Structure 1
Amino acid sequence: MSRNGKYLVIFILSVVVLTPLGLMAQGPAWGEWSPEEIKAMLGYVPESIATTKPLIATLIPDYEIGGLGALASTWVSAIIGVGLVFVVMIGIKKSVKRAS
């Protein structure tokens, strides 16, 4: 593994380990507001949010996995997210190589 690759792995692992710090924050995570919270902040709900928000279902609602505590659920969610990004990036890399 290259030096840059090692730094990237260290960075990703650090972010995963620090992910539960968000549990100590008050209120929802930035950008994860409900339409009601947006209305309270802006005074209205943008049409695009009003029409698409009900259609979006999360794989792990509120990052809680049944049977696990909040801390463990958050770490598992972070690991799943990193894994999904990793798989997508490998797929993009392979498709770019084939196109070259």
Structure 2
Amino acid sequence: MDKKLRNLLIGLAALIILVPLGLLAEGETYGEWANDWLQEELGYVPQGLEQMSSLWSAPMPDYSLPLLGDTFSGMSVGYILSAIVGVALCGGILYFGGRVLVKNKD
């Protein structure tokens, strides 16, 4: 493994480990508002958001797994698992997309 890739992986691992620090913040995470929270804060839910909200439900709502519970450690594990899945998906898409582009270029 070359040095650049090793440093990239070390940096990603450090960021994944630091992800649960977001649990220490108070309030809602920007852009992750539920309809009930918007109704409470704004007094209404935008029509388009209300119509589209039933189309998708997150595989790990609130970054947690029911078997881990609502403890800080359980939520931390959920955050870390979410980060690992996200990095793996993004990395895989970039890797295989790059291979396709290089193959088409040749």
Q: Which bracket does the TM-score occupy, shorter chain normalised? A: 0.7 to 0.9
Instruction: Give yes or no for the alignment of 1:94 onto 2:99.
Output: yes
Aligned alpha-carbon RMSD (Å): 2.0
Deviation of 1:3 after TM superposition, in Å, equals: 4.0
Q: Deviations over 1:16-44 (max 9, x none)?
A: 01100111111222210012323444454
Q: Distance in 2 between matches of 1:65 and 1:22?
A: 17
Q: Percent identity?
A: 30
- State the secondary structure of the residue aligned to 1:28: coil
After superposition, the C-alpha distances for 1:31-88 in whole angstroms (9 at most, x for unaligned) are: 1001232344445433331221121111111111132211212211211111111111
TM-score, reference length from structure 1: 0.81
What number of residue pairs does the alignment pair up?
100
> 1:18-29, aligned counterparts within 5 Å?
18-29=18-29
In structure 2, the CA distance between the partners of 1:27 and 1:93, relative to structure 1 (3 Å rule), is same
CA distance in 2, matches of 1:40, 1:99: 52
Normalised to the residue count of structure 2, the TM-score between the two structures is 0.77
5+ residue gaps, structure 2: 69-73
User: How do residues 58-97 of structure 1 correspond to structure 2 at under 5 angstroms?
Assistant: 58-68=58-68, 69-97=74-102
- After superposition, the Cα gap between the structure-2 partners of 1:37 and 1:4, relative to the gap in structure 1 and judged at 3 Å, is same
1: distance between equivalents of 2:67 and 2:36?
Answer: 29
5+ unaligned residues in a row in structure 1: which ranges?
none
1:2 Cα offset (Å): 4.2
